[in-house]
């Protein structure tokens, strides 16, 4: 077994989808729920791997698209895999590159659909041709490198080969990212394409696992798409949850695609109700406190997001009382820590005044220290949620945490 459930969460509305558990990998166990910091190019920007470990992170996630382009997945393979290459001793994830192929390589962004924003829905054929078919076909995706404009081709088989060479403990099936701008007709077409790609990923994964039998087994997660349509999300979850190719099935699942924040818990709930209980569920791209609570009680186990480090580089600091900007004038002579009582390296060694100064002076250490704090805050928050479930005080902890973080100042 690659995943064991420890404790089930029953919320005040009677829903029993949330749980705590353990994901087993060759590089160690991951206690869930867990936040997984993003090290896109085999580095969490501005900080040492030792610092990432010190904030309590159990695993890191890197990106197949970026590492394929630079330095090349073959280089990481020769180095002994992602963990060895970046000097990270724990478990690792890599995503399939599907999101970056669409958003960077093809120039698409996650935007609200005309349908969900109340505008007139564009004609299916026009929307599909304009937004997708110039780049996507049933076999794979053509895209241009955002680095030098060179043309590349990703297929399910190529993504699997790249991720096997990257050597992460948990890898993801290649899927087509749709935006909420795509019409219902195109979402249906894309969902079927992603289903067929998932079958090809399972086949390629088994073949590569056999060919590289000297390497540790890599768990393959299928990715659930379907935008904000309940029937499509449930269908995708049923299809991938029961999918088996030559005895190979998915070891877990990623919940991906575009969705509106207010629908996050509902969509995760739809998917969790359909997926097998004995396999882990990873929600791609969230890091805000309210999103964590919604997602966890709806059945998600792990999460990743670039946001804690990204906003840190722009002087935004997480605190139990919300986010604040350390460059504000009021902090110039404030010699208290960023957050009173915080046990991260930054808060136990530096003051708001020092952080204010280093950002104003554009010193590189500012990004390092702010990132350490934000990653610690985020990892620790999810750890506390896990503890509250295991020890039976989830509802009280949720009310106190969210009430304080989102209180109007």
Share of the chain above pLDDT 90, in %: 81
Domains of the chain with CATH codes = 3-305 (3.20.20.105), 316-402 (no CATH)
Longest dimension (CA), the chain: 65
pLDDT value at residue 1: 77
pLDDT band at 115 (very low <50, low <70, confident <90, very high): very low
Q: Residue 121 pLDDT more than 50? A: no
pLDDT value at residue 253: 98
Q: Residue 116 pLDDT more than 70? A: no
What mean pLDDT do residues 9-27 have?
Answer: 94
pLDDT value at residue 404: 97
Q: What is the pLDDT of residues 206-252, one digit of tens each?
A: 999 999 999 999 999 999 999 999 999 999 999 999 999 999 999 99
pLDDT band at 257 (very low <50, low <70, confident <90, very high): confident
Q: What is the pLDDT of residues 301-333, one digit of tens each?
A: 999 999 999 999 999 999 999 999 999 999 999
Across the chain, mean pLDDT equals 91
pLDDT value at residue 128: 40
Q: Residue 376 pLDDT more than 90? A: yes
Catalytic site positions:
95, 304
258 in Cβ contact with 223 (< 8 Å): no
pLDDT band at 122 (very low <50, low <70, confident <90, very high): very low
Q: Which of residues 378 and 98 earns the better pLDDT score?
A: 378
What mean pLDDT do residues 8-14 have?
Answer: 90
Question: Distance between CA 176 and CA 102 in Å, rounded?
Answer: 8
Q: What is the pLDDT of residues 339-375, one digit of tens each?
A: 999 999 999 999 999 999 999 999 999 999 999 999 9
Q: What is the pLDDT of residues 273-302, one digit of tens each?
A: 999 999 999 999 899 999 999 999 999 999
Share of the chain above pLDDT 70, in %: 92
pLDDT value at residue 103: 66
pLDDT band at 12 (very low <50, low <70, confident <90, very high): confident
pLDDT band at 105 (very low <50, low <70, confident <90, very high): low
| Bridge-based pairing state of the strands 18-25 and 3-9 | antiparallel
Q: Residue 130 pLDDT more than 50? A: no
């Amino acid at each position: 077994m690659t995943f064991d459930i420890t404790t089930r969460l029953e919320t005040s509305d009677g829903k029993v989808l949330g749980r705590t558990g353990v994901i087993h990998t060759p590089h160690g166990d991951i206690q869930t729920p867990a936040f997984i910091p993003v090290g896109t190019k085999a580095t969490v920007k501005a900080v040492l791997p030792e610092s990432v470990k010190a904030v309590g992170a159990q695993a890191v996630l890197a990106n197949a698209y970026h590492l394929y382009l630079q330095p090349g997945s073959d280089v990481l393979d020769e180095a002994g895999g992602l963990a060895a290459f970046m000097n990270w001793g724990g478990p690792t994830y890599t995503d399939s590159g599907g999101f970056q192929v669409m958003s960077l390589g093809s120039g698409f962004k996650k935007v609200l659909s005309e349908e969900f924003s109340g505008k007139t829905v564009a004609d299916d054929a026009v929307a599909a041709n304009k937004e997708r078919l110039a780049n996507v076909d049933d076999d794979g995706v053509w895209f241009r490198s955002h680095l030098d404009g060179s043309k590349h081709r990703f297929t399910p088989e190529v993504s699997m080969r790249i991720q096997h060479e990257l050597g992460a403990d948990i890898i993801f099936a290649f899927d087509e990212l749709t935006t909420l701008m795509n019409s219902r007709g195109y979402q249906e077409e894309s969902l079927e394409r992603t289903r067929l790609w998932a079958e090809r990923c399972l086949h390629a994964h088994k073949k590569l696992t056999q060919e590289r039998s000297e390497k540790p087994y890599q768990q393959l997660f299928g990715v659930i798409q379907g935008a904000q349509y309940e029937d499509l999300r449930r269908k995708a979850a049923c299809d991938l949850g029961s999918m088996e190719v030559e005895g190979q099935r998915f070891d877990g699942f990623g919940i991906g695609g575009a969705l509106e924040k207010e629908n996050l818990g509902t969509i995760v709930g739809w998917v969790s109700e359909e997926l097998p209980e004995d396999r882990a569920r990873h929600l791609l791209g969230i890091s805000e406190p309210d999103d964590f609570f919604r997602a966890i009680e709806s059945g998600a186990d792990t999460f990743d997001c670039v946001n804690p480090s990204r906003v840190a580089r722009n002087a935004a600091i997480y605190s139990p009382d919300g986010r604040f900007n350390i460059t504000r004038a009021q902090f110039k002579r404030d010699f208290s820590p960023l957050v009173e009582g915080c046990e991260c390296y930054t808060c136990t060694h530096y003051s708001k005044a020092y952080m204010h100064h280093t950002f104003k002076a554009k010193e590189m250490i500012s990004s390092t220290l702010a990132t350490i704090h934000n990653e610690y805050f985020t990892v620790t928050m999810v750890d506390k949620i896990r503890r509250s479930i295991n020890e039976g005080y989830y509802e009280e902890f949720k009310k106190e945490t969210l009430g304080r973080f989102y209180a109007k100042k």
